[in-house]
Amino acid sequence: MTGFLSGVIRRRRPIAALAAAGALLLSSLLAGCAGNDPHYTLKNIKGLVSPLEFRLTNQDGQAVTAADYRHDLVLLYFGYTQCPDECPTTLTTLANALRTLGPQASQVRVLFVTVDPRRDTTEVLKRYVGNFGPEFVGLRPDQGELTDLSKRYRIAYHYEAPDKYGNYEVDHSSAVFIFDGDGRARLLALSDNNARQVASDLRRLLAGS
């Protein structure tokens, strides 16, 4: 179980109490309830996580809701464009998984929600997600929307103190939530899951398993 929990939150340095509490809440939920389904490699979170629901601004400056992505598989990931390691690694893994799917990738959307809306403007998000493929969509919440989403999906984030140039890092949860075409939470991918495993489980979901 240690390996499973290690992927829930990125910890490059000690995290603040609020973020740690959020990570602990998610960890406790998953450790106690998430199961190993013989049909899937990723963690089964069916019935444990709230359905996909949001109203945010996308990378084109348009208001979008979860209903706009119904009938697609949705991979929901929280990060930020200046993340030095976890975000580009995770998004590259997801991009590789989608390439493995071939034409079926058109039925999948990766929603990248920034936890750093102050620096991640819609223009910045559009350039960033464009590096990974057409299935990737950048979403920008305001601070209140981000707080609501973090509570809904029990993710944690914490802004580190800025350096003398005003640059800072953000500690954040690293899990990828996977929702089916009806917006129901189904699977959770963590940092130790590879592209082959993700692609295999997405195929099963697309097949209606």
What does the pLDDT look like over 37-84, one tens digit per residue? 668 999 999 999 999 999 999 999 999 999 999 999 999 999 999 999
- Which CATH number describes the domain made up of 2-206? 3.40.30.10
Confidence of residue 1 (pLDDT cuts 50, 70, 90): very low
Residue 23 has pLDDT above 60, yes or no: no
Confidence of residue 103 (pLDDT cuts 50, 70, 90): very high
Tell me what pLDDT residue 208 has. Answer: 85
Contact 175, 157 (CB under 8 A): no
Tokens (6 digits) for 141: 């919440």
Tokens (6 digits) for 114: 């920034």
Rounded to two decimals, the pTM is 0.86
Tell me what pLDDT residue 22 has. Answer: 44
Tokens 């359905």 belong to: 51
Nearest alpha carbon to residue 41 among 155, 173, 183, 203: 203
pLDDT one-digit tens code per residue, 144-175: 999 999 999 999 999 999 999 999 999 999 99
- 165 burial type by CB count under 10 A (0-12 exposed, 13-18 middle, 19+ buried): exposed
Looking at per-residue pLDDT, the higher value among 26 and 120 belongs to 120
Contact 88, 170 (CB under 8 A): no
State the sign of the Cα–Cα–Cα–Cα dihedral 76, 81, 83, 84: positive
Residue 4 has pLDDT above 50, yes or no: no
Tokens (6 digits) for 35: 């199961």
Mean confidence (pLDDT) of the chain = 87
